């Protein structure tokens, strides 16, 4: 069964990869500099970039995915809203870094729920890439949650995001390549 809109699925996947790379850099900086970096202008810029691209991925997947469509429409916006709330707390310097980190932990638990469905859409491109993507998000979410109590455990979040990024690096070129073929398949060509 073909995707609803392969071009939008490509866009969602590319945006997901870009977000994963940005998160990877920020996690590494946070591990080096400490949780206080969450309350800096760099965090605000990074959070703003993620806030700007999240709706693009959300829209793209909601209009193209078969298995993840309902999760993108009904569940993912809650995670995006929690991320925006965390960014607002950082901007206003409210209870930074602990409350924003807690909100982000919940936002990424929601992402893991949505990723479970998205993984099914990614299977058509690579089972290995799909599994890395999904289990990376699970480990990343767990690392964020644990770092609320023990900041040195943020390394688990970095490991999870690295695994998720590896999955997306496998998936993205395959999604792009296959999207060029799928429109002709739908037309019988």
What is the per-residue pLDDT for 179?
Answer: 86
Is it true that the peptide bond before 187 is cis, omega within 30 degrees of 0? no
What is the per-residue pLDDT for 126?
Answer: 97
What is the per-residue pLDDT for 148?
Answer: 81
What is the per-residue pLDDT for 182?
Answer: 65
Q: What gap in Å lies between CA 149 and CA 114, rounded to an integer?
A: 25
What is the per-residue pLDDT for 111?
Answer: 93
Q: Which residues of the chain have pLDDT under 70?
A: 1-2, 182-189
Output phi, psi for 86, to 5 deg: -60, -45
**Sequence ranges of the domains in the chain:** 6-186
Angle at 111 between CA 25 and CA 65, to 5 degrees: 110
What is the per-residue pLDDT for 2?
Answer: 66
Taking only the tens place, the pLDDT of each residue in 115-153 is 999 999 999 999 999 999 999 999 999 999 998 888 889
DSSP conformation letters of 19-69: HHHHHHHHHHHHHHH-GGGGGSHHHHHHHHHHHHHHHHHHHHHHHH-SSSH
What is the per-residue pLDDT for 101?
Answer: 87
pTM of the complete model: 0.91
CA distances from 161 to 88, 91, 95, 178 (A): 23, 24, 25, 25
Report helix, strand or coil for 181: coil
Report helix, strand or coil for 143: helix
């Amino acid at each position: 069964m073909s995707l609803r809109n392969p071009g939008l699925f490509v866009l969602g996947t590319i945006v997901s990869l870009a977000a994963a790379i940005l998160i990877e850099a920020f996690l590494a900086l946070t591990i080096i500099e400490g949780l206080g970096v969450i309350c800096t202008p760099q965090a605000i810029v990074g959070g703003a970039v993620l806030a700007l691209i999240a709706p693009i991925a959300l829209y793209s997947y909601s209009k193209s995915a078969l298995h993840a469509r309902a999760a993108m429409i009904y569940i993912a916006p809650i995670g995006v809203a929690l991320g925006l709330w965390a960014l607002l707390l950082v901007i206003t310097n409210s209870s930074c870094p602990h409350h924003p980190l807690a909100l982000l932990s919940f936002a990424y638990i929601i992402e893991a729920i949505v990723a479970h469905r998205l993984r099914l859409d990614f299977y058509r491109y690579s089972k290995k890439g799909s599994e890395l993507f999904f289990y990376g998000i699970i480990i990343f979410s767990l690392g964020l949650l644990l770092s609320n109590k023990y900041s040195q455990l943020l390394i688990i979040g970095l490991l999870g995001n690295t695994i998720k990024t590896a999955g997306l690096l496998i998936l993205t070129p395959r999604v792009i390549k296959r999207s060029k073929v799928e429109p002709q398949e739908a037309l019988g060509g």
